[in-house]
Amino acid sequence: MNDNKIKCMYFDHRFTGKPQGKQCGWVQKSLTQTDITIENLADALCHGASFKPGVLVGGNKAENWYQQQLFGLDFDNGVMIEDTYNKVISLGITPCFMYTTFSHKEEHHKFRMIFCNDTVITDGNVRDRLQATLMGIIGGIDEVCFNRDRLFFGGKGKVVLHPDFEARINAESIIEKYWNDDFEQYISNAKPKSKKRNSPAASSKSKDKGDTNKEYQPYENLNVKAIKEHDVEYLRKVLAHEPIEFENKNEFWDYIYSELDIAELIDIDDPRSFCCVLHDDRNPSANIFTTQNGVQKYRCCSENLTLNIKQLIEMLGNFKSEYKAIQFIMDIYNLCRA
């Protein structure tokens, strides 16, 4: 067995089926930075454990990315395991192992392929270009797996596929040999939006420094705009939410009200005080809080409104029915209820 250990975010609970509802939140909160051999990781994933290839510090989102040596690819579009493996080998790139997911069926293959770089990558740009290159040259991959905070659930196959635990790839050589400008789409689609709010004062200072190319434009919250325009595709990309199926309605509603992050949905930096997104608010009058029952609420003091996430979406998107608002939430978060 290879005693060389690799750092990743890891949770050792062995699920027998794909985590659902609150189980997903439990996994996210339970992931810890772990040193583990590739062989042990492979065996654990085949028996239902979970991991994130990227090492995150200070939180569990993409902006908390710190370093990475493992790289994962997610295949669920019907490509075949052996065909994909043979294609990768023909490119001169060898994965450490592969494993089937909980949803894998013989008639519809769903699987993961894991690579290990020969050094630890601490430059986020290098990491992104390597991930994008691997996705671009192989194809047939779920684009969400690009994200720096991507969570990979294990599977129940119990058998490691094509194990080669000593195999390593070299980021520099792969990027140099295979990079294509078309792969930039993966990076731009996942790039965090700027949180910086422009102000007239800041604009004036920029002009004083000679920046006169653009006139001042007030900050536009693109998430809020997308909700108003019912732009599911945009929100699915920026929220990058794992697909979840719920076994019953109670589990579904508990997850909707308690687990979904309103601040993330409407792109708010400080949920304690901000300008209300429901009306023209020049002075911060809104906040987001959590009730004693664990339900997230949006509060606008100037309009005396307190809304849960469903009510906020219904009002902000001017949906004509509660059903359409719920369906919109399900679509942007990849949710499926019983």
pLDDT digits (tens, 9 = 90+) for 247-280: 888 888 989 998 899 999 998 888 888 889 998 8
pLDDT at 303: 81
Give the closest residue to 79 by CA, choosing from 56, 54, 104, 43: 104
Region 186-215 average pLDDT: 47
CA dist 264 and 47 (Å) reads 32
Confidence of residue 220 (pLDDT cuts 50, 70, 90): low
pTM of structure = 0.64
Round the average pLDDT of the chain to a whole number and report it: 86
- The answer to whether the CB of 246 falls within 8 A of the CB of 335 is yes
Strand partners, 286: 274, 300
Q: Is 201 exposed, middle or buried, given 0-12, 13-18 or 19+ CB atoms closer than 10 A?
A: exposed
- The pLDDT tens digits for 175-184 are 999 999 989 8
How many Cα atoms are found within 13 Å in the side-chain-facing hemisphere of 57? 5
CA dist 189 and 205 (Å) reads 31
Region 16-27 average pLDDT: 82
CA dist 230 and 313 (Å) reads 10
Give the closest residue to 235 by CA, choosing from 273, 261, 198, 253: 261
| SS3 track for 6-72 | EEEEEECCCCCCCCCCHHHHHHHHHCEEEEEEHHHHHHHHHCCCEEECEEECCCCCHHHEEEEEEEE
Give the closest residue to 189 by CA, choosing from 238, 242, 133, 132: 238
Domains in the chain: boundaries? 5-190, 205-336
